[in-house]
Structure 1
């Protein structure tokens, strides 16, 4: 059993190595390659969790080790990407980059305290991989974009994503989605885009995550609550109308009145 447990730990170690490599490459100015290693870290992170659940070898150490690796890959590495790509020329750029790392650390710590072995339908707050890819892709897409107050816009963007990660908002995890044979076409297409059409891949990542965030905020949180209250109000109104008319005959008399001598 210890040998099987080491399989999961090796995958976590590769995740950590990917995050560490991404951080080094970011400080060398190789931001796109740094992003590639964040992607690689995500692959190892996904494999790690699935192997642990499939072999039933989850452990407290494995959970903590996985979080440490995720902090580097989805916290430190993206912070290094946005700092070396843009924020190093912005006042308080180091502090803003640190806010992202802090948000990921808080999120992972909270997850460890409240997590269970059973996969959940929703995440509490935006997941750290989503935040990492969203911020990094935006940084790489906007590399040549410049307009007045762009530094302020980008700063607010980073702070917003950091807030979403530690928020109590519900974000669908899609862990309940059943496998479909059509899913087999997705990895080859994404790999082809990643290798040959990097800009298209980055834009696709940004658009998908942007749509995911908007959908969950609007429909899974505030929109769903408004819909439930509206639907409940409609049902109460319909129930009231039904009760007011219940037991009346066609002449407007109740069944009791009809039976009591109106002949």
Structure 2
């Protein structure tokens, strides 16, 4: 006989991880409001807060065994706001709006690439064999958003005039580069293979403290450098691997040619 009484826990949602997701969504929303009011430094800081909250919700869900399909979907919807809409509007209102229709086109391309990146990531999760925990396929959208936020924060902190042509050019190039990296097949380290609950040697603990101290000395330049280097790391690694693979193929071809001549 079929039991019509369903477990009431199945109809609910887990509060704790979704609170972090809601905090990330709120930070992204506030970044949009700040961009509309030309408070670009506040908007950039909100993007970083959203990234921190986004990194915590999944970890909290795994640690408390409260993962759910609802949480995964909610996280993706929050990401499209915090790391898609918010950075696109920040870079548009801050810089690229000065190149007319090309400006909103660049902002839209970035937003569309974030949506495509999230859609591909969600579909890859259904096939565990196609996803390595050590690498992301394409640049993660929180890292792309953090790079844009760092660039805006750094330029405002340094007192550069937004209307300067070279600054608008670099803003457009960086935005398009990040957009291309998100939808590319280039591998980026995920750092998920590091066990944060495990023990570390004393030297590693000192290095972590040193890095935190450097970030707080001047967070605008330090955070931008960190995330910009991460965004470039995938391209350089792919180029290095391609050159090494080409060199190996050439060495094998020379070896085969030498064997044929010896015969």
Query: Quick check: TM above 0.5?
Result: yes
Q: Which has the larger radius of gyration?
A: 1
The answer for the alignment partner of 1:211 in structure 2 is 229
The 5-angstrom pairing of residues 1-263 of structure 1 reads: 5-92=14-101, 93-115=103-125, 120-143=133-156, 144-145=160-161, 148=165, 150-179=167-196, 180=200, 182=205, 185=209, 188-189=212-213, 192-193=216-217, 200-219=218-237, 221-231=238-248, 234=251
User: How high is the TM-score relative to the length of structure 2?
Assistant: 0.77
Between the aligned partners of 1:186 and 1:229, the Cα distance in structure 2 is: 39
Alpha-carbon distance in structure 2 between the residues aligned to 1:81 and 1:148: 18
Q: Secondary structure at the match of 1:123?
A: strand
d(CA) in 1 for partners of 2:120, 2:224: 26
Contact 1:169 1:217 in 2 (8 A): yes
Separation in structure 1 between the aligned mates of residue 84 and residue 139 of structure 2, nearest angstrom: 13
Distance change >3 Å, CA 119–CA 24, structure 1 → 2: farther
Counterparts in 2 of 1:37 and 1:186: CA distance versus 1, 3 Å: farther
Q: Which has the higher contact order (CA 8 A, sep 6+)?
A: 2
Runs (5+) with no aligned partner, structure 1: 194-199, 246-263
CA offsets, 1:125-167, max 9 Å, x none?
1111111111222233334156545434432331221111111
Q: Distance in 2 between matches of 1:54 and 1:224?
A: 36
> What is the SS of the residue equivalent to 1:206?
helix
Q: When the two structures are superposed, what TM-score results if normalisation uses the length of structure 1?
A: 0.77
Residues in 2 aligned to 1:178 and 1:239: alpha-carbon distance in whole angstroms: 45
Structure 2 runs not aligned, ≥5 long = 1-8
Separation (CA, whole Å) in 2 of partners of 1:26 and 1:186: 32
Residue 238 (structure 1) shift: 6.7
Aligned residues: 238
For residues 75 and 186 of structure 1, the distance between their equivalents in structure 2, rounded to whole angstroms, comes to: 32
Cα displacement (A) at 1:190:
6.2
